Structures are given as C-alpha cells and as structure tokens.
Structure 1
Amino acid sequence: MKILLILTLISFSIFFISYNLDKRKLYNGFLFNISLFMFLLTATYITFSTSNILLMVIFFIFFAITIFILIFGIYILIIGLFINARIVTKRESRSLSNLLTFFLGLALLFHVILTIINPERFLPSDVNIFIGGFFVIEIYFLFSVFNFLMISLLYQLNRPKLNQDFIIVLGSRVIGDKVPPLLASRIKRAIEFYNKQAKVSKPPKIIFSGGQGKDEKVSEAFAMQQYAIKNGIPISDTILE
C-alpha cells in the first residue's frame, strides 16, 4: 500500500507543478487523469483491505458510474457532437470547419453500426488488420477527447488575479461586419473581466486578434473592437492585432 500511496502522491505532485506552471497546457488533462487513476487504484486497495462498509458503498457507486460510462459513453459522445455541431452551425455558419464535430459524430456512429453488424467475419484477415488500424485511431481520439474534457473542466476553476496588463481575445469568422454570437461571447467575457479589474485597479488593454477573410467586409479584430466600444470599452483601451 505504501508504494501505491507514494505513486499517487508523485503523480498528483507532477500534475500540480505542471498545472501551476501553465494552466493552458492540454497535457495537464492527461497528467490529472493519470493521478486520478492512481488515486482510485489506491482507494480500491484500501477499501478491500480494510473492509470498511462506507468505503465499500462509495466504491460500488463509482464502479457503477464507470461501467455506465464504458457502456454508454460513446453514445453520449455521439449525441454531444451532433448537438455541438447544431449549435455552432446555428450561431455561425455551415462552413466545413464548423461541421467538424458533425463529421466526427457520423464517424463514431458508423463505427457503432459496424460493430453491431460485425463485417469482419466476412472479410479476409489482411483486410481485418487494416481495419484494426482505424480502431487504434478511434481509441486515441476518445482518449484525447477525455483528456481535453478533463482539463476543460479544471480550467473553469482558474481565477486570474485582477492585475493583468492585457487581455487577448482570439478572433473567428465574422458575418460581413457583424460579430456572431459565438465570438460575441468571447468579447463579453473579456469585457466582464475588464470591468472587474477596473473597479480595483488600472484596467487592462484588450487586444483583439483576427484578420480579414475574403467574405468579410472588415477584419475580425476591427469588428470585435467596434462591438466592445458599443458595450462601454474606451477605444484607448483596445489594440488591434
């Protein structure tokens, strides 16, 4: 048990150091999942070695949740991808990039259908080996999505101090010269932080970053700046990139 406890502490320490050095890194999700796995492994060992009733109940609750995720997780992910695609296309446009989650959902749905049909029994072994490569890619994709979702949840706990010099707002496609809802939500978040800091110290400069596409009347940065000015941000506190 000592070895498990030491490994758990080491894994959490590595995650803690990495997360505090840079909270934006995606591999922090991977490090957290490793430390979480070690914690659950240690907790499982302690539960069965002590035969504590309360720990047993907690263990079986988590076990049931895990089994549920393993069985139905891919279906939940498919539904989530389709919902995300609908929201993005409704708020933005039906461009190829905005349909990415829709295509990913279709690919996973196709895999589920193939798993049910099981065409491998009708195919030669060489073809099955080739198809197996796609299964490896799918596992990697699901693993990456899980790590991304985990660090996304953790990042919601990030509360930057109200002493920033700059806020950078990354651009995305504008419709003509209008800011679509998805991009507007980023600007509103920046304005919210700007107003909070302005109450206690010198307000930060807001940097709007984004070029101009062929179907855009103005640059993304300019459209974002105008949106922020209309919502009370002084032009002197804005910078176009």
Structure 2
Amino acid sequence: MSDLLRSTSTLSKLESLHLPRSSAHDSSRDVLIYSWPSKLRELHISGGLHDESALGLSTLPRSLSYLSIGNCPHLSMLFISPLLNQIGSQLQYLEIVAPLPGLRLGHDLLTNITDLAPNLHHLKISLDFVGPLFFTAGESGQPECKFLTRLDLDCFEPAECVDFSPEWIADTIVGMEGKFSKLRRLGVHRKLGWMNTKNGTEGMAEIDELLKALAREDGPDAEISEDDAGVAFFGTR
C-alpha cells in the first residue's frame, strides 16, 4: 500500500483514487503519511488497511469532497472518528457501508455522523452502524443537514437493523421540518424488507409522495427534479 500511495502522489492531475482490496496488506503497520495529489476529489477506501497505518490518511487535501469506506475488515472508529473530525466539514458525498466488523461492535457508533460531516449533499450509510437518534435533531434543536438532498440507507445484516421499521421511518421523515428538510431522494436497500408488509408499503409511499411534492415546490432549477425525487430501492435481498 505504501508503494501505491507514493507512486500516485506525483500524479498532479489525479482526481479520483480507489484503494483496491488486493493491494491493502502491508508487511508493516507503520503510519502511512505522504503527499496527496493536489487535485484529488474522490477517495475510495477498501481492503485490509489497519487503524494504525490508516491514521496518516487524515492528511488528505482540501480538494477532497467525496469519500467512500467499505469492505474494510480491520478499520474501526479509531481511524474513522479522527478522519471525519479532520475532513468531515469539506465532504459533500460520504459513504460508509458494511462489512466493517469493527463498527458493528458498538452498533450505533455513527449515529452522530451528520455532526461530523455537516455539509453533505449525499450520504450512504449502513443502518447497522447507527441508532434511532440518527433521525432526530441535534441537542441545539437547530436544523441540521441543511444541504443533504440524498440519503441512501444500506443494510448488511437485517438482524442488526431491527430498531428501524418502515412505519417509524415514514413518521420521522414526514414529520421532520428540521434535520431532513432538504431531503428529496431516499434510497432503501431491499434487504431491509420494507416493502414486505402493508404498513411498510404505505409508509414508503407516503415518503415518496412527500419528497416528490417538495421537489415540485423547489422548481425546475432545483438540484433534484420531481422525476428524480422520491423513494428508490437498490440492491438485492
């Protein structure tokens, strides 16, 4: 991994970098610190990085606005928390999805993720890693997620997501004029099974109708059009 990072640091025009799973194992766990490409906008982290070596990645450039983390069996909040504290405010897209065994131990370790990354436009998060408070306003009572228009709810292990029912999600989102007031598109992983019951189907339909109506009110120049707004299902069961 250290060789890969050193070789890309000289690519001044590189804007997107994927850390492949196959190249993530180093013989040592020394902290990886090096100069990033000055125009880097996207970073995709996966593979066998350990917390100890990955801590040095917090030196990421100000140009970075897109970050995805997934399929990392050895990473935990020891890496993710300092990273988001360092660069969270500059991110517009953030994806943290299972499998990440180190996060499942606490189950709700990323409940405050929108506090760490307050300027997101698009968030994809595994419900395995958050608790119900993720969907509520902060302690200050002030609106949060003021730019978040897209939210994708992923799921790795449905048994870890039992705190969330489609009816509860619908009541929470429909009734919130604060935290998710800008939300226009909600993605839901099919593993959650939220279309398997009558109440779930009705709840998703209610959210879909609301989001489309809000997009219609936004007008033709909005970030998300009425046609693209609403609830969308992804993944396989």
Q: Which has the higher strand share?
A: 2
Scaled by the length of structure 1, what TM-score is found?
Answer: 0.28
Q: Which has the higher helix share?
A: 1
Scaled by the length of structure 2, what TM-score is found?
Answer: 0.28
Task: Tell which structure's C-alpha radius of gyration is larger.
Answer: 1
